[in-house]
């Protein structure tokens, strides 16, 4: 499995580099839980890719979100979002190939294989590999998001930090494989530079703040990540209800499914709604489970252009005492003030 990076002195220094982002005047008005916090990588280019041997990648466990506590299941009413809405379009890569015409996604809670690898939007989706807080190899899903730095992947907070651990809970050795498909790496490996989530996750493990982003280094021979893959747009502070969202991920398991391997891209479609009075989370129905954490929820995805707007992500679902799902509702944090602060920091 290789030597965990946190045993190397160079990476021990990186794990300790945790700092709050400098808030803007507008951000200071937002709830303290929405403030961005970050971890920076100081590794030499190439060390992360070398760390991720084929054996270590095969052994990477699909990340499952930590169990909710009773208090987290019935939280107090969330603070009001006060930052102005933030929206942006996607950016197609040079020479991007659109998906074939006539693809009609299934409606409802049953996932189907995307299959159109090598074209948008699959180009922007990928597997995010990392060592968890204990040094064990793990993986999540993520998507390239349109930013000025052109090297950013949007994902879940629990894919970056264990939650409720402050500066001690950061994962490390992040590597992104875009357009991943059954072990193939058509666009190479991208090594991290900075990971950002918010205090509501790192200090309280509050699922209303389970979101984050990772900035990656450009590749000398390929350029910026966004130049290679394109990117998804974003709509933050636009609420919780959207008519037709495409919900993506790399599922390793799911409700009564035996065809999920964690190695290929699947999706569900359907509307989202407000999760309830005591939370501002979004709910979307889908039978995908472990491995999809961090996969994007895209509003207004059009197959002829291949990009939509990120409005949510795969965060968590309710389980009973035996660990079985109580329904097919998948929850996402509301992409409000917290998402805006993460985006502003990472950009």
State the pLDDT confidence band at 65, using cuts at 50, 70 and 90. Answer: confident
Enumerate residues 6+ apart whose C-beta is below 8 A from 223. none
The residue with greater pLDDT, 2 or 77, is: 77
Query: Which pLDDT score is estimated for 27?
Result: 43
* pLDDT recorded at residue 313: 98
Which residue(s) pair with 178 in the sheet? 126
pLDDT digits (tens, 9 = 90+) for 287-296: 999 999 999 9
Average pLDDT over residues 220-243: 95
Question: Is 187 within 8 Å of 222 (Cβ atoms)?
Answer: yes
Give the bridge partners for 256, in sequence order: none
Confidence at residue 70, expressed as pLDDT on a 0 to 100 scale: 56
Per-residue model confidence (pLDDT) at position 277 = 79
Contacts 24+ apart (CB under 8 A), 241-244: 241/271, 241/272, 241/273, 241/274, 241/282, 242/271, 242/272, 242/297, 242/299, 242/311, 243/271, 244/269, 244/270, 244/271, 244/299
- The C-alpha atoms of residue 306 and residue 144 are separated, in whole angstroms, by 13
For position 74, what pLDDT does the model report? 58
DSSP state of 84: P
The pLDDT, as a whole number, for residue 179 is 96
- pLDDT, tens digit, 9 for 90 and up, residues 98-128: 655 654 543 457 999 998 899 999 999 999 9
pLDDT-based confidence at 324, cuts 50/70/90?
Answer: confident
Instruction: Note the pLDDT of residue 4.
Output: 37
24-41 residue pLDDT tens: 444 447 899 999 999 999
Specify the pLDDT at position 248: 98
2, pLDDT greater than 80: no
Contact yes or no for 182/115 (Cβ under 8 A): no
- What ranges in 123-266 are assigned the alpha helix state H? 199-202, 225-229
Structure confidence at residue 88 (pLDDT): 95
pLDDT of residue 255: 87
Give the range among 8-17, 193-202, 244-253 with minimum mean pLDDT. Answer: 8-17
């Amino acid at each position: 499995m290789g030597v965990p990076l946190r045993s190397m002195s160079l990476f021990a220094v990186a794990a300790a580099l945790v700092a709050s982002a400098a808030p803007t005047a507008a951000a200071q008005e937002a709830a303290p839980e929405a403030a961005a916090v970050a971890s920076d990588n100081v590794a030499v280019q190439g060390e992360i890719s070398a760390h991720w041997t084929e054996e270590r990648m095969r052994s990477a466990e699909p990340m499952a979100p930590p169990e909710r506590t009773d208090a987290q299941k019935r939280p107090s009413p969330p603070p009001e979002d006060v930052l102005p809405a933030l929206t942006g379009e996607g950016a197609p890569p040079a020479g991007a190939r659109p998906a074939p015409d006539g693809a009609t996604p299934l409606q409802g809670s049953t996932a189907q294989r995307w299959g159109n690898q090598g074209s948008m939007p699959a180009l922007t989706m990928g597997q995010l590999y990392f060592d968890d807080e204990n040094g064990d190899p793990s993986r999540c899903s993520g998507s390239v998001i349109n930013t000025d730095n052109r090297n950013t992947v949007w994902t879940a907070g629990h894919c970056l930090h264990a939650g409720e651990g402050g500066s001690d809970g950061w994962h490390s050795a992040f590597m992104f494989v875009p357009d991943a498909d059954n072990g193939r790496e058509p666009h190479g490996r991208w090594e991290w530079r900075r990971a950002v989530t918010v205090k509501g996750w790192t200090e309280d493990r509050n699922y209303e703040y389970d979101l984050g982003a990772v900035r990656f280094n450009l590749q000398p021979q390929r350029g910026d990540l966004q130049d290679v893959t394109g990117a998804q747009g974003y709509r933050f502070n636009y609420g919780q209800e959207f008519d037709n969202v495409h919900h993506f991920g790399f599922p390793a398991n799911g409700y009564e499914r035996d065809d999920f391997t964690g190695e290929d891209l699947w999706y569900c479609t359907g509307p989202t709604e407000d999760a309830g009075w005591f939370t501002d989370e979004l709910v979307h129905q889908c039978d995908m489970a472990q491995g999809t954490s961090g996969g994007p929820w895209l509003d207004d995805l059009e197959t002829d252009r291949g990009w939509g707007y990120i409005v949510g992500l795969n965060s968590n679902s309710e389980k009973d005492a035996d660990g079985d799902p109580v329904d097919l509702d998948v929850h996402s944090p509301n992409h409000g003030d917290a998402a805006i602060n993460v985006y502003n920091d990472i950009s």
